Amino acid sequence: MKTRRTGDGAHDNGGAGGGGVAPGKQTRVQARYGDAVQRKEAGDATGGEVDLGGGARIEGATLFSGPDDKLDETVPPVATPEKTTDAEYEESMGIKKSIADKKMLPVEGVHGASFTATGCAGKKDGKVTFTFDRAYVGDYEYAAAGKTVRGVHVSISAALKDCGEHKDVKFVQVLRNFTKKDGKVVTADPGYAKRRERSGWSDDKAPSRGWRVDGLDSDTSPFYVSGDFYGNHGSDAKALKLRDTPGNWSTDRNVGKEFRTCAVSYAGGKGTVLACIDWGYYIDDAGAATFYPAKPVATAGAVKELTDAATRWDGMEGNDKANLVP
């Protein structure tokens, strides 16, 4: 889930019981706040005040935003460095220390493993191989909120082989919140107005109700990767990359998120879905987090949850359209 991605993606205001902004796709304010907290703890502050640049500062425990027109209530995505590596992402997100301290552990059978979908773009022998370059589950500290997040961290690559010519391939990611009742997975309320709208939550008969295109509430692009911090687009000659760290607060129980991460080839403004990979996490009643499903599932072509969520997205005013080919 876009971080702010606890989850959507990815990074999530919602899954954390209203305790503030949970991580997923991170905001610029949160990134500056986290950096400032680290500087303050290191003794860099003067007179209890920390300068964040651009006039923004921290006095005591209060964040004051300076006169930066790019920092507003729509919560813009974090300003990201170019050519971010997995290691740089993990350090920035606070995951590196948790991995070193074994608070986040590699997911057996997923971390470093590949899952292949065969039969892409009408090519019988065409293959899209999704590789989990990184797959960890556990806890990490989210400095912006001063709380512990429990969930998963993934870095997913997708490589095409014998699928034909594809010059512009992008990830579109959809997700749903879920819980379990009587041992069965049940789609859950996403918790916030924009996410409910994207999920078709107000309509009991909405196709794939609860599934939505992954992004910050302020996002208008359907593509998960909005900068090198989150990965890169690809082609038939270059693998795509996506980084995501969805989760909930460590105090949450019987909650999870399920994702469909799809490689979509664009030509003439239309998107052909080449393949999707299914993955996610679940936190049980005892607070134990596990990868869900236990083994990711790769599927050639489009999946219904994607097409239904993308259709809903395209119908929302102000959004750039995904324009998926039926």
Domain extent at residue 115 = 75-314
Q: What's the N-to-C CA distance of the chain in angstroms? A: 25
Q: Could you read off the pLDDT of 57-106 as tens digits, one per residue? A: 333 333 333 333 333 333 333 333 456 899 999 999 999 999 999 999 99
Instruction: Tell me whether residue 230 is in a domain.
Output: yes
Weakest mean pLDDT among 115-119, 141-145, 302-306: 141-145
Would you state the pLDDT for residue 34?
42
Instruction: Tell me whether residue 49 is in a domain.
Output: no
Instruction: Tell me whether residue 322 is in a domain.
Output: no
Q: Kindly report the pTM of this predicted structure.
A: 0.79
pLDDT band of 40, cuts 50, 70, 90: very low
Q: Which residues pair with 259 in a beta bridge?
A: 175, 279
At residue 313, φ and ψ (nearest 5 deg) are -60, -45
Would you state the pLDDT for residue 75?
33
Instruction: Tell me whether residue 33 is in a domain.
Output: no
Enumerate the H helices of 61-144 as residue ranges.
86-93, 95-100
Instruction: Tell me whether residue 185 is in a domain.
Output: yes
**What is the residue type of 38?**
Q
**What is the residue type of 22?**
A
Instruction: Tell me whether residue 18 is in a domain.
Output: no
- Taking the C-alpha atoms of residue 242 and residue 132, their distance in angstroms, rounded to an integer, is 10
How many domains would you assign to the chain? Answer: 1
Instruction: Tell me whether residue 264 is in a domain.
Output: yes
- Taking the C-alpha atoms of residue 99 and residue 89, their distance in angstroms, rounded to an integer, is 13
Q: Could you read off the pLDDT of 150-182 as tens digits, one per residue? A: 999 999 999 999 999 999 999 999 999 999 999
Per-residue pLDDT at 13 exceeds 70: no
Instruction: Tell me whether residue 289 is in a domain.
Output: yes
Chain mean pLDDT for the chain: 83
